[in-house]
């Protein structure tokens, strides 16, 4: 395999080995299966059965249950029997951390066990150890000795296994040699995979989860390449973003990570980890997966043969495409957000409130939020009121010619229209480029060479092609190969129906490109006005949308935040909760959010238990971790600063901690 997927310019599903989990077949082009994990106490058989049923009824095709020790592993039998008695044959997965004994029991009961190679054998002490090659080989022998019995049991019982690496819980051994890098994550799984293969056991699925979609996407890509290079084949992949959080942000973060990989045909099963009831994860999974059911039969006439394709960027590490700056777009500046208000008949000051600008009549001032759009697109309209100082307007050329303030208004041309236009802005011109549809071939882009590197031109790339993301990516490859360094705005329209579908569409299409370093701005829109109005009428699947412009603008900023290209708000890393959780995660997350959501750029982890929480809170600045019934331990980075605080005062103590560390500002 030259890169990491079958095609970079078309949707093509990656071929993986077939794996059997109970009666469910995974990989080898079988449908992408959706799954979730229970949050009940595994010792509470009936609660776990009832919750599993709610998940199955919602569409879960696999249900994972935590088995922290031998007694929970044994109780899986009662849970399984009760489910089967009630007519549910959905395969069950035991989630194991730290306890090989529990894994060996569970593997005889359920259809699949998940092990975390970061903590199956190793206990994490956050130690940096120098290993000689001989020492390292000894460590691998130690793992082989402890892991092989489980492999043999799985083989004997026909049980499947997921080797599930988490970015936040890599072993000290891996951290010492590779750091917390995508390569470290891959190697962590490969060590276990090699041991399993040596036993001729192949009923294996792998995952590379992280709460940072950028790290997660790179790790999966690297893993695929490593498997093909070393084994000549690829095992099925389970996709997920860990600790994604809740609400819109959780959905966007998941869609950016999972969606970017699905776009490239990668992924055989997915789980969206939300800090919400597990059955609520399933509709999000389904919205993500249904985008690909008919994709492979679509018309895609523009493929570049991968064998001849030379990639001008590295898909295994992030690097932003090099551009020059045109005004506040491109160069080293954060990506801009353009709000499309062109479907409003008469734009008034109150419309700007939806995109982050609130006019205060008493003081005659505009209040500007952290998530305020940088530009608005108004089509043919010039505005009859004074605009906030930081906001600029994009209009069609005829309107621009009529505009008196050429420092505020800038024209947008349609492809070759810019080259032939008589009047252009000296400072900033936008040029729309429709990338590769059935009618538009590479020969139709000769005009690009005429405007290439014009210091006033910002390109706006979109595609009406079925494989829009791939078509726009192909254009980026073309631009790089032609040494065209103009900044680029990603224009993405959605033709879907519900708010959730729109959100996933936007996050997937633009997220995939931003994670590859492409894009100096984004503009999200809808195929038609009727469809925008529909969003409200369609009501909720999960999300309630009262103001479509605000929803779209917030989505744009959240996508930039999730891709870590522009930080405009507090980041929450909160675990999805499971049978180990020691407090009400949803309620506590909401409480912490309400007090801290004005702290731009601060990363706060909210984790249900001290067993896995600290290891999995990744690169959070502060951590709020359940350490016993009614007890919370607070962290600064990886360091414990307040141990076993009473939960009634723990949120206040967290705020105090933020204050002590100068991470607090008054709201
Ligand atoms: S951190 Fe959260 S999801 Fe992970 S084991 Fe602990 S309680 Fe469960």
For 210, the token pair is: 């992280």
Cα(207) to ligand 1 centroid in Å equals 17
196: Cα separation from own chain's centroid: 30
Q: Where are the alpha helices (DSSP H) in 454-498?
A: 468-481
| Separation of CA 203 and ligand 1 centre (Å) | 26
**405 contact partners, CB below 8 Å, separation of at least 6:** none
Which numbered atom of ligand 1 lies nearest the CA of 625?
Answer: 1
Nearest CA to ligand 1 atom 8: 578
Ligand 1 atom 1, closest CA: 613
The single residue listed with the structure tokens 């994972």 is 64
Convert 184-210 into a string of H (helix), E (strand) and C (coil). Answer: HHHHHHHHHHHHHHHCCCCCEEEEEEE
Report whether 299 contacts 471 (CB < 8 A). Answer: no
pLDDT of 528:
81
Question: In the β-sheet with 603-607, what is the strand arrangement from edge to edge?
Answer: 571-574, 603-607, 622-628, 631-636, 639-646
Ligand 1 atom nearest to CA at 608: 7
Distance (Å) from CA 19 to ligand 1 centroid: 27
Q: For residue 320, give the nearest of 306, 338, 334, 337 by alpha carbon.
A: 334
- Ligand 1 atom closest to the CA of 581, numbered from 1: 7
Cα of 115 from ligand 1 centre, angstroms: 14
Judge if the beta carbon of residue 612 lies within 6 A of ligand 1: yes
The rounded distance, in Å, linking the Cα atoms of 197 and 659 is 52
Ligand 1 centre distance from Cα of residue 150 (Å) = 23
pLDDT at 168: 81
CA 582 – ligand 1 centroid, Å: 9
Query: Helix, strand, or coil here: 12?
Result: coil
- Index of the ligand 1 atom closest to the CA of residue 579: 8
**Protein residue with least CA distance to atom 5, ligand 1:** 612
What is the position in ligand 1's atom list of the atom closest to the CA of 37?
3
Length of the chain measured in residues: 667
Query: Could you tell me the distance, in angstroms and rounded to a whole number, from the CA of residue 578 to the centre of ligand 1?
Result: 6
Pick from 440, 205, 300, 223: nearest CA to 10: 300
Distance 575 CA to ligand 1 centre (A): 6
| 280's tokens | 């609520």
Distance 606 CA to ligand 1 centre (A): 10
Residue 241 near residue 257, CB atoms below 8 Å: yes
Whole-angstrom Cα distance, residue 55 to residue 33?
Answer: 13
Number of the ligand 1 atom closest to the C-alpha atom of 575: 2
Protein residue closest via CA to atom 4 of ligand 1 = 612
> How many helices (H) does the chain have, and how many strands (E)?
19, 25
Q: What is the CA radius of gyration of the chain?
A: 26
Q: Which residue has the tokens 């099963």?
A: 269
Q: What is the residue whose two structure tokens read 């141990």?
A: 643
Q: Is the CB of 616 under 6 A from ligand 1?
A: yes
User: CA-CA distances (angstroms) from residue 133 to 40, 245, 654?
Assistant: 43, 40, 43
Edge-to-edge strand list for the sheet holding 33-37: 204-209, 160-166, 112-115, 92-96, 62-66, 33-37, 269-270, 238-239
Q: Are 228 and 260 in contact (CB under 8 A)?
A: no
CA 38 to ligand 1 center in whole angstroms: 11
pTM value is: 0.91
Report the Cα 446 to chain-centroid distance in Å: 36
Ligand 1 neighbourhood includes 578 CB (under 6 angstroms): yes
Name beta bridge partners: 491: 523
If one residue of 580, 615, 618 were mutated to test the ligand 1 pocket, choosing by the most ligand atoms within 8 A of its CB, it would be: 580
Q: How far apart are CA 552 and CA 535, in angstroms?
A: 11
Whole-angstrom distance, CA of residue 57 vs CA of residue 52: 9
Q: What b-and-e string marks burial along 273-292, b requiring 16 or more CB atoms within 10 Å of the CB?
A: bbbbebbbbbbbbbbbbebb
For the beta carbon of residue 304, count every other beta carbon within 10 angstroms: 17
Ligand 1 atom closest to the Cα of residue 609 is 6
- Cβ of 580 less than 6 Å from ligand 1: yes
Mean pLDDT by 10 residues, the chain (667 residues): 83 95 96 96 97 98 96 98 98 93 97 94 69 88 96 98 91 86 96 98 97 94 97 97 82 95 96 91 94 60 53 92 97 97 92 92 86 96 91 97 95 92 96 77 77 95 89 90 95 91 95 97 90 61 74 95 92 84 88 92 91 80 94 93 95 96 91
pLDDT of residue 298: 44
Nearest-atom number in ligand 1 for the CA of 243 is 3
DSSP strand pairing (639-646 vs 571-574): unpaired
d(CA 118, ligand 1 centre) in Å: 15
| Burial bucket for residue 217 (CB in 10 Å: 0-12, 13-18, 19+) | buried
User: 581 CA to middle of ligand 1, Å?
Assistant: 6
DSSP per residue over 452-470, as a string?
TT-TTEEEEEE--STTHHH
119 Cβ below 6 A of ligand 1: no
Out of 613, 615, 627, mutate this one to test ligand 1's pocket (max ligand atoms within 8 Å of CB): namely 613
Cβ of 609 less than 6 Å from ligand 1: yes
645 lines ligand 1 (CB under 6 A): no
**Rounded distance from Cα 616 to ligand 1 centre (Å):** 8
Structure tokens at 194: 């090699």
From the list 494, 478, 469, the residue with the least C-alpha distance to 7 is 469
Q: Where are the beta strands (DSSP E) in 539-630?
A: 571-574, 603-607, 622-628
Burial class (CB in 10 A: 0-12, 13-18, 19+), 128: exposed
The helix (H) or strand (E) run that includes residue 239 is strand 238-239
Is 99 touching ligand 1 by the criterion CB < 6 Å?
A: no
**Residue 207 half-sphere exposure, CB side, CA atoms within 13 Å?**
23
534 burial type by CB count under 10 A (0-12 exposed, 13-18 middle, 19+ buried): middle
Cα distances (Å, whole numbers) of residue 355 to 105, 162, 299, 370, 385: 55, 44, 37, 10, 16
Rounded Cα distance between 571 and 600, Å, is 8
If you take atom 3 of ligand 1, which residue's CA is the nearest one?
577
- Rounded to an integer, what distance in angstroms lies between the CA atom of residue 178 and that of residue 170? 10
Contact (Cβ atoms closer than 8 angstroms) between residue 493 and residue 526: yes
Closest CA to 124 of 169, 67, 166, 164: 169
Per the CB < 8 A criterion, the answer to whether 249 and 562 are in contact is yes
- Measured torsion, CA atoms of residues 620, 168, 238, 270, in degrees rounded to the nearest 10: -20
Q: Does the CB atom of residue 573 touch ligand 1 within 6 A? A: no
Ligand 1 pocket check for 576: Cβ under 6 Å: yes
281 C-beta closer than 6 A to ligand 1 = no
Nearest CA to ligand 1 atom 6: 609
Ligand 1 center from residue 128 Cα (angstroms): 25
3-state helix, strand, coil in the chain (%, to 5): 40, 20, 40
Token readout for 6 is 């079958």
């Amino acid at each position: 395999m030259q890169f990491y997927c079958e095609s970079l310019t078309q949707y093509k599903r990656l071929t993986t080995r077939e794996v059997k989990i109970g009666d469910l077949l995974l990989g080898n082009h079988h449908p992408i299966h959706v799954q979730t994990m229970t949050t009940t106490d595994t010792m509470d058989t009936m609660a776990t059965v009832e919750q599993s049923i709610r998940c199955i009824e919602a569409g879960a095709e696999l249900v994972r249950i935590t088995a922290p020790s031998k007694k929970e592993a044994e109780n899986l039998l009662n849970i399984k029997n009760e489910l089967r008695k009630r007519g549910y044959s959905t395969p069950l997965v035991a989630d194991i951390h730290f306890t090989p004994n529990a894994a060996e029991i569970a593997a005889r009961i359920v259809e699949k066990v998940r092990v975390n190679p970061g903590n199956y054998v190793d206990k994490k002490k956050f130690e940096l150890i120098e290993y000689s090659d001989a020492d390292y080989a000894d460590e691998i022998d130690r793992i082989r000795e402890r892991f092989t019995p489980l492999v043999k049991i799985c083989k004997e019982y026909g049980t499947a296994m997921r080797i599930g690496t988490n970015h936040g819980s890599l072993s000290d051994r891996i951290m010492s040699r590779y750091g917390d890098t995508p390569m470290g994550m891959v190697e962590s799984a490969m060590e276990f995979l090699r041991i399993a293969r040596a036993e001729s056991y192949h009923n294996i699925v792998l995952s590379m989860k992280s709460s940072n979609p950028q790290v997660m996407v790179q790790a999966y890509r690297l893993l695929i390449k490593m498997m093909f290079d070393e084994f000549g084949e690829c095992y099925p992949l389970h996709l997920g973003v860990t600790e994604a959080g809740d609400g819109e942000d959780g959905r966007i973060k998941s869609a950016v990570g999972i969606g970017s990989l699905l776009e490239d045909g990668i992924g055989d099963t997915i789980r969206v980890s939300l800090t919400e009831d597990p059955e609520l994860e399933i509709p999000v999974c389904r919205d993500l997966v249904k985008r690909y059911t008919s994709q492979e039969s679509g018309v895609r006439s523009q493929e570049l043969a991968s064998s001849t394709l030379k990639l001008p960027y590295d898909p295994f590490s992030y690097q932003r495409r090099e551009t020059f700056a045109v005004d506040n777009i491109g160069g080293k500046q954060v990506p801009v957000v353009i709000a499309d208000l062109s479907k409003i008949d008469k734009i008034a000051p109150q419309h700007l409130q939806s995109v982050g600008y609130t006019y205060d009549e008493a003081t005659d001032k505009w209040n500007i939020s952290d998530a305020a759009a940088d530009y608005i697109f108004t089509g043919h309209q010039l505005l009859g009121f004074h605009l906030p100082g930081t906001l600029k307007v994009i209009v069609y050329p005829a309107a621009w010619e009529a505009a008196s303030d050429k420092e505020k208004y800038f024209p947008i041309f349609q492809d070759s229209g810019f080259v032939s236009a008589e009047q252009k802005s000296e400072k900033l011109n936008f040029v729309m480029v429709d990338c590769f549809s059935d009618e538009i071939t590479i020969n139709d882009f000769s005009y690009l060479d005429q405007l290439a590197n014009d210091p006033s031109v910002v390109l706006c790339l979109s595609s009406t092609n079925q494989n829009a993301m791939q078509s726009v990516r192909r254009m980026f490859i073309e631009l790089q190969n032609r040494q065209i360094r103009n900044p680029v705005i990603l224009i993405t329209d959605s033709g879907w129906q519900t708010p959730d579908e729109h959100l996933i569409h936007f996050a997937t299409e633009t997220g995939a490109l931003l994670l590859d370093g492409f894009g100096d701005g984004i503009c999200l829109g809808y195929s038609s006005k009727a469809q925008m109005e529909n969003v409200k009428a369609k009501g909720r699947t999960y999300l309630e949308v009262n103001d479509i412009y605000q929803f779209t603008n917030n989505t744009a900023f959240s996508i930039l935040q999730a891709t870590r290209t522009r930080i405009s708000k507090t980041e929450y890393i909160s675990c999805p909760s499971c049978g180990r959780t020691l407090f009400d995660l949803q309620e506590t997350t909401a409480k912490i959010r309400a007090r801290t959501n004005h702290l731009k750029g601060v990363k706060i982890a909210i984790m249900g238990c001290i067993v896995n929480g600290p290891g999995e809170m990744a690169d959070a600045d502060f951590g709020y971790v359940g350490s016993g019934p009614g007890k919370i331990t607070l962290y600064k980075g990886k360091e414990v600063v307040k141990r076993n605080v009473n939960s009634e005062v723990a949120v206040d103590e967290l705020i105090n901690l933020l204050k002590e560390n100068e991470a607090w500002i008054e709201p």
